[in-house]
Structures are given as C-alpha cells and as structure tokens.
C-alpha cells in the first residue's frame, strides 16, 4: 500500500520503497519487517548499533541478498526479481563498507568502471585503437575526472588505491558511484576510517553532489555527519526500525536514546 | 637494471605511475629491433627455436590473461593450443587451404571452444576449475588418436604450404611468429585500458562491487575464458606453421603445465618482454636440458613449486587455496 501511496503524491514519484522486508540466515532473523520510503531530493540516514542489519538492508536493496519476504520498488518498477546488475542499470549504485576498488587500476580508471553500463564500445575497439572506441574512452575519462574533481581528489587520479589514504579511497568509491549520474546512491559507512578533516570534507562533498532528483542513503556511525547531512533518519535495532523521522525527532526519541545513543557508539 | 623489471614489466599494476613505462617501451622497442634483424645474423636452428619460442610465448600469455584478468588458473590450455594447431593442419591436409584462411578459422575455433568450456564451468573456481581444465588436456591425446582419419593419429600431420610463396621458409616462419606475438602484445596493451579490460580487473578484485556496476560474474568469466582460449588457439596455429608439424606428443598435459610454469615465471605479465621470458623458458630450457631426459618434468615441477611459493603474493594462484570466498 505504500507503493500506491507513493504514486498518488507527485513529490514522491520515483521513490525507492521497501515494505515488509524480512531476511534470515540459517534461522536467524537479520531483518524483521522493515519498511522504508526514500524520496528523491532527500538524504536519508540509516543508523543503528553494530549488527543491526544496515548492510544487510543495503544488500537487499541492491539485490545481493534476496529477502525472504517483502517488496522493493523504484518508482513503478518492482525490483524484487532483478539482479544486482539490472538494478545498477536502473540507476541504483552504492559504495561498500569494506573498500572495493581494484588495486590493479588507477583511481581514475576505477571511477571509469562506474560508467561500464553506459558505454557501448564493442570488443573490436577493446583490442584495436578505433576512432569511436577512443572517443568513448576519452569521454569516460573526462567524466571520471570531473567526478574526482567534484569530490576534490583529482590530484590522485593516476595513483593506485593501495597508495592512497583511506579518505581518498572512500571518496574514490563515491566518485565511481556518482559518475554515471545515478538515481539512487547508497553509501555504506563512507566516513569509516576517515579523520575529522576528511569527514568534514566528505560531508561537504556529499552536500554538493546532492540534487533534487537524487535519493541518497547513508549508513554511518559518525553522528555529526548524519545530523549535518540527513533530512530524515531511520534507526535500526536487531533488524527492526525502532524510529524514523527528522534528525531532531530521532535525537529526542527515548527509545533511540536508550538503545542506540545511550549504548555508546564508536 | 633490476631483473624484476625485465620479467615483470607490468609491475605498474601495483603502482601505475607514469615514469617507468617509458623505459619499458624503449626496452621493448630495442628487443623488437634486435629480433627483427636477427635472421640476417644467425643460423636456421636458432631461428627455428625462436619461432617456437614466440609461439609458446603466446600460449604463456593466454594463460597469463586468464590469471591476470580472471583470477583463475588453467592447466589444460594445451587443449586450446592443440585445437588451433590441428585446425591449421587439418585444413591444409584435407581442404588444401593455407594459413590465410585457416588462421581466422583457428581463432574462431578457439573462441567457440573457450565459450563451450566456460559456460558450464562458470560457477567453478580455484582448484576445481583447474582440475576441470586438466580433464580437457587429459582427454586430448586420446581424442586425436581416436580421430586418426582426420588427425593422422600418433604420426600427426605436416604443414607445408607457405604463407608467402617464394619467400624463404625459415624466414617466413620466424617473421610470422614474431609478428603474431607483437600484435598480440599490442592488442593486450590496448585491452588493459579498454572498458572490458577494466571491468574484468574490477570483477577479479571485487566481484560484488563489479556486479553493483552492471558487470556480472558470468559475463566476466565467459569473456576472459573465451579471450584466453582464442589466444591459446592462435598460439597453436603459430606452432603448427612454425614447426611444420603437429602430433599428439606436442600437446600433452605436460604442455599445459609448462604454459602455466611459463606464466608463473613471467609473473603473469602480458607485455612482450614478460611473454618472451615465459615462452623462452618453456621452449629453450628443454632443448638444453635434453640430456636430462626423464628428469625434465621433475625439474619443471620443482620450478613451478618454488616460483609459486615465492611469488604468489599478488596473483590468482592464491585462489587455488581453498577457503577464500569472494
Ligand atoms: N551473508 C550472511 N550470512 C549470515 N549472516 C549474515 C550475513 N550477512 C549478515 N549477517 C548477519 O546479519 C546481522 C546484521 O549484519 P549487518 O552486516 O547487516 O549489520 P550492520 O548493521 O551493517 O553492522 P555494522 O555496523 O557492524 O556494519 C549480523 O548478525 C550478521 O552476522
Ligand atoms: Mg555494515
């Protein structure tokens, strides 16, 4: 019913809606009836203690995990049976909690892999320097460079990820996610391993890339980043949404204080 | 200059900085220049050995492509090499067709065989895939002998048609093999920066991340295998032409293992210098070790073991060990 609701109100067109998501591994329930309503133009925070199920929820949204029950739709498109690659084709991209850049590619080339789906060049131009393939590569390179530049790390373009500080690698992952102009951007702990300065730069960069057609979801333990960046927050505990609403409302929620903020975060 | 730079010209893989490749380019150009004038200076036996070395270098490179871009290991590539070699030989013997026609057909055959193997085995990896590839190589001699009417059985077949009629035979073989190797290396250098090449490198390092950007595991595996098998088949066609003969003994399981040894020794490089090192070792060493007779496989086995133990820190060989989920 959430979906019908979403279609009725114009501002929710193109929303990413999950309803009643249940996920279990070997009899252990990881997600228990999670509902999400993520709208274009809003940054949503997803917080909760370690093991609450945040990454698992991301994995359900992107198709790496298959929920035992529940439905996921992006706009009018039901995602449930689509593979991760198909969902990527619909404009859903993500970054990973554990760094997932190829060490064999430069940072710039890693970002270029974010354009794989929108590139058309065939196998001929993979082996032979053909004009069309060249032009396409040039274009991809330019767009990847622009994405790096937007995040302020263009200087690291030609270095390999293992040579870069974690902050730059994180931003590189975000650049790779952004370069194709996604509809949905899911960030799993983008500030993990970053120092205070890098986290501040990241927060600013994310603000800058936000636009009215983008759905951005951030999983993060860094409360400053969440509070500064997010328009709405979902709090997850033991696989259940225990609160959702504006940062202020969530911060004041007694249950959240007890379960999450009171438990002390790292 | 450090030996490691000679054998591992793609050390850049770890640190793709710009300065060193220039030096490598010059070195490669120098090697090409020397190889290009060599026939004017040397005897025909050396030329013959070198032609085989170039052909084997392509086979080694085909295995390196699989390891580098697919993170997988094959010990059965002798199957695809034999397919290319026999395509050339059979087309000459039974259809009277020369290399101009049989070479493209050999490439297609390698591609098709690569697909046929990769599709059903696309969910296997590590030791399981290696063993599956071994089965291919083991079945091959039997197959060739069984199809005696076409393949000449134990005896094998001769290849006598020229590529360019009227040109000295040793020269044609040598330059054809050299040109094939150089073209393959240039194509692979270009491939490294292509959409497909970069997608494969991402898929090898982080299959899930790759999937999240539309690069599926099946696509990655099938593509890299088809590419690798096509190159192996090309190498077979070059072997057939360069040595004028094909027979089941040239394509045993040992050949498949030697290609892997060559690939390990060349640190899975896909550059000209790396391929030459790998091809050189597996071609020339046996000739000089001919006196050692039965010990050759043991020497190779030990070499493989030692190099693998010493140098496997950064390669797909690690995936042979069980327990490393993706
Ligand atoms: N593939 C899996 N197989 C079995 N259990 C899993 C799997 N993936 C996640 N889990 C379990 O699901 C629970 C939630 O894990 P998840 O990674 O989603 O938590 P999280 O909220 O992202 O935690 P963190 O803040 O530590 O990243 C954990 O108990 C975890 O052990
Ligand atoms: Mg997590």
Here the ipTM equals 0.87
Is there an atom of ligand 1 within 6 Å of A118 CB? no
Tell me which chain B residues have a C-beta less than 8 angstroms from the C-beta of A163: 15
Supply the residue whose CA is at minimum distance from atom 3 of ligand 1. A25
CA dist., res. A187 & res. A207, Å (int): 13
Q: Does residue B215 sit at the A interface (CB-CB below 8 Å)?
A: yes
CB B62 within 8 A of CB B259: yes
Question: Among all chains, which residue has been given the structure tokens 């999240």?
Answer: B212
CA dist., res. A98 & res. A117, Å (int): 23
Residue in B190, B193, B212 closest to A94 by CB: B212
pLDDT at B145 over 80: yes
Ligand 1: residue of A30, A60, A219 to mutate (most ligand atoms within 8 A of CB) is A30
Give me the DSSP letters along B73-92. --S-THHHHHHHHHHHHHHH
Is there an atom of ligand 1 within 6 Å of A25 CB? yes
Say which range, A228-242, B30-44, B194-208, has the weakest mean pLDDT: B30-44
Beta bridge partners of A151: none
Average confidence (pLDDT) over B5-27: 55
Q: What are phi and psi of A72, to 5 degrees?
A: -130, 130
Q: Does residue B13 sit at the A interface (CB-CB below 8 Å)?
A: yes
Residue B255 confidence (pLDDT) = 87
pLDDT at B4 over 50: no
Strands across the sheet containing A43-47: A92-94, A184-188, A215-219, A43-47, A232-237, A240-245
CA dist., res. A169 & res. B140, Å (int): 47
Ligand 1: residue of A55, A64, A219, A221 to mutate (most ligand atoms within 8 A of CB) is A55
CA dist., res. A15 & res. A25, Å (int): 28
CA dist., res. B251 & res. B228, Å (int): 17
Query: Measuring CA to CA, how many Å separate A86 from each of A113, B47, B194, B212?
Result: 16, 53, 22, 9
Q: What are phi and psi of A23, to 5 degrees?
A: -145, 130
CA dist., res. B181 & res. A107, Å (int): 31
Structure-block tokens of residue B275? 């391929």
Structure-block tokens of residue A179? 């370069």
Domain locations along chain B: 23-320
Residue in A85, A102, A112 closest to B214 by CB: A85
Contact A88 B211 (CB under 8 A): yes
B196 CB burial (10 A radius; 0-12, 13-18, 19+) = buried
CA A91 / ligand 1 centre spacing (Å): 25
Contact A113 B198 (CB under 8 A): yes
Residue B170 confidence (pLDDT) = 81
Nearest CA in chain B to A178: B213
Residue in B187, B204, B212 closest to A84 by CB: B212
| Residue A178 parent element (H or E) | helix A166-178
CA dist., res. B286 & res. B297, Å (int): 10
Supply the residue whose CA is at minimum distance from atom 31 of ligand 1. A51
Question: Among all chains, which residue has been given the structure tokens 């070997």?
Answer: A26
Beta bridge partners of A219: A46, A188
**DSSP 8-state symbol, B308:** H
Tell me which chain B residues have a C-beta less than 8 angstroms from the C-beta of A121: 194-195
Q: Which of B277, B194, B227, B186 lies closest to B63 in space, CA to CA?
A: B227
- The CA distance from A135 to the nearest CA of chain B, in Å, is 12
Residue A12 confidence (pLDDT) = 64
Structure-block tokens of residue B81? 């090499």
Query: Measuring CA to CA, how many Å separate A132 from each of A118, A138, B195, B256?
Result: 15, 10, 13, 38
**DSSP 8-state symbol, A36:** E
CB A176 within 8 A of CB A113: yes
Residue B42 confidence (pLDDT) = 80
CB B200 within 8 A of CB B220: yes
Q: How many C-beta atoms surround the C-beta of residue A51 within 10 A?
A: 12
Residue B290 confidence (pLDDT) = 65
B106 CB burial (10 A radius; 0-12, 13-18, 19+) = buried
Q: What angle do CA A232, A241, A36 make, to 5 degrees?
A: 55
pLDDT at B310 over 80: no
- The CA distance from A104 to the nearest CA of chain B, in Å, is 5
Instruction: Give the architecture-level CATH label for domain A1-91+182-191+214-266.
Output: 3-Layer(aba) Sandwich (3.40)
pLDDT, averaged in runs of 10, over chain A (266 residues):
40 84 92 93 93 93 93 92 91 90 95 92 91 92 94 92 91 92 93 87 90 94 91 93 91 83 49
Tell me which chain B residues have a C-beta less than 8 angstroms from the C-beta of A96: 206, 208-209, 212
Q: How many C-beta atoms surround the C-beta of residue B163 within 10 A?
A: 15
Q: Which of B190, B318, B213, B224 lies closest to A102 in space, CA to CA?
A: B213
Tell me which chain A residues have a C-beta less than 8 angstroms from the C-beta of B193: 109, 137
Average pLDDT over chain A, rounded to an integer: 88
Q: The whole model's pTM is what?
A: 0.86
pLDDT at B12 over 50: no
Supply the residue whose CA is at minimum distance from atom 4 of ligand 1. A25
Q: Which residues of A touch B (CB under 8 A)?
A: 62, 64, 83-85, 88-89, 93-94, 96, 100-106, 109-110, 112-117, 119, 121, 123, 125-129, 133, 136-137, 140, 158-160, 162-163, 176
Structure-block tokens of residue A105? 């590619």
CA dist., res. A136 & res. A225, Å (int): 37
Q: List Cβ neighbours of A197 (8 Å cut-off, separation of 6 or more).
A: none
Is there an atom of ligand 1 within 6 Å of A103 CB? no
B273: left (phi over 0), alpha (psi -120 to 50) or beta: alpha
Residue B13 confidence (pLDDT) = 41
Interface test with A, best of B17, B193, B195 (most A CBs within 10 A): B195
pLDDT at B318 over 80: no
pLDDT band at B309 (very low <50, low <70, confident <90, very high): low
pLDDT at B79 over 90: yes
Average pLDDT over chain B, rounded to an integer: 83
Residue B316 confidence (pLDDT) = 46
Q: Span B23-320: which CATH code? A: 1.10.3470
Interface test with B, best of A66, A85, A87, A134 (most B CBs within 10 A): A85
Average confidence (pLDDT) over B270-287: 86
């Amino acid at each position: 019913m959430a979906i019908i609701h979403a279609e009725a109100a114009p501002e929710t067109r193109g929303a990413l809606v999950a309803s009643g998501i249940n996920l279990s591994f070997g009899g252990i329930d990881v997600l228990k009836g999670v509902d999400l309503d993520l709208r274009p133009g809003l940054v949503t925070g997803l917080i909760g203690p370690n093991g609450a199920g945040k990454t698992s929820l991301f994995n359900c949204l992107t198709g790496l995990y298959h929920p035992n029950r529940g439905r996921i739709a992006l706009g009018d498109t039901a995602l449930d049976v689509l593979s991760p690659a198909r969902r990527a084709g619909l404009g859903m991209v993500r970054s990973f909690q554990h760094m997932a850049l190829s060490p064999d590619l430069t940072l710039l080339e890693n970002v270029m892999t974010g354009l794989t789906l929108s590139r058309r060049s065939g196998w001929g131009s993979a082996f032979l320097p053909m004009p069309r393939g060249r032009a396409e590569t040039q274009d991809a390179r330019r767009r990847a460079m622009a994405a790096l530049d937007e995040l302020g790390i263009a200087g690291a373009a030609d270095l390999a990820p293992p040579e870069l500080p974690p902050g730059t690698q994180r931003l590189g992952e975000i650049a790779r996610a952004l370069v194709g102009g996604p509809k949905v951007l899911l960030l799993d702990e983008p500030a993990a391993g970053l120092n205070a300065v890098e986290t501040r730069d990241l927060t600013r960069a994310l603000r800058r890339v936000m636009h009215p057609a983008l759905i951005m979801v951030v999983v993060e333990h860094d409360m400053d980043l969440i509070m500064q960046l997010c328009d709405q927050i979902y709090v997850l505990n033991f696989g259940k949404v225990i609160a959702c609403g504006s940062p202020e409302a969530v911060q004041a929620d007694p249950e959240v204080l007890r379960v999450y903020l009171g438990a002390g975060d790292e | 200059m450090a030996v490691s730079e000679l054998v591992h010209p793609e050390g850049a893989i770890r640190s793709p900085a710009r300065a060193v490749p220039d030096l490598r380019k010059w070195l490669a150009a120098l090697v090409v220049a020397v190889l290009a004038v060599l026939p004017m200076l040397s005897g025909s036996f050396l030329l013959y050995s070198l032609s085989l070395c170039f052909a084997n270098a392509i086979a080694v490179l085909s295995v390196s492509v699989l390891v580098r871009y697919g993170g997988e290991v094959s010990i059965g590539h002798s199957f695809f090499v034999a397919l290319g070699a026999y395509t050339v030989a059979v087309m000459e013997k039974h259809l009277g067709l020369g290399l101009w026609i049989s070479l493209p057909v050999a490439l297609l055959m390698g591609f098709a065989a690569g697909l046929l193997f990769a599709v059903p085995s696309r969910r296997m990896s590590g030791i399981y895939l290696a063993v599956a590839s071994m089965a291919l190589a083991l079945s091959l001699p039997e197959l060739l002998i069984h199809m005696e009417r076409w393949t000449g059985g134990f005896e094998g077949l001769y290849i006598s048609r020229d590529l360019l009629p009227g040109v000295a035979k040793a020269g044609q073989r040598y330059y054809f093999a050299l040109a094939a190797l150089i073209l393959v290396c240039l194509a692979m250098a270009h491939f490294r920066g292509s959409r497909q090449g970069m997608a494969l490198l991402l898929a090898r390092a982080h299959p899930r991340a790759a999937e999240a950007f539309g690069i599926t595991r099946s696509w990655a595996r099938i593509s890299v295998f088809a590419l690798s098998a096509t190159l192996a088949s090309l190498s077979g066609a070059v072997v057939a032409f360069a040595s004028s003969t094909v027979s089941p003994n040239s394509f045993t399981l040992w050949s498949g293992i030697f290609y892997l040894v060559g690939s390990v020794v060349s640190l899975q490089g896909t550059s000209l210098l790396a391929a030459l090192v790998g091809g050189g070792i597996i071609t020339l060493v046996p000739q000089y070790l001919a006196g050692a007779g039965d010990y050759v496989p043991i020497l190779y086995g030990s070499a493989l073991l030692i190099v693998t133990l010493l140098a496997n820190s950064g390669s797909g060989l690690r995936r042979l060990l069980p327990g490393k989920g993706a």
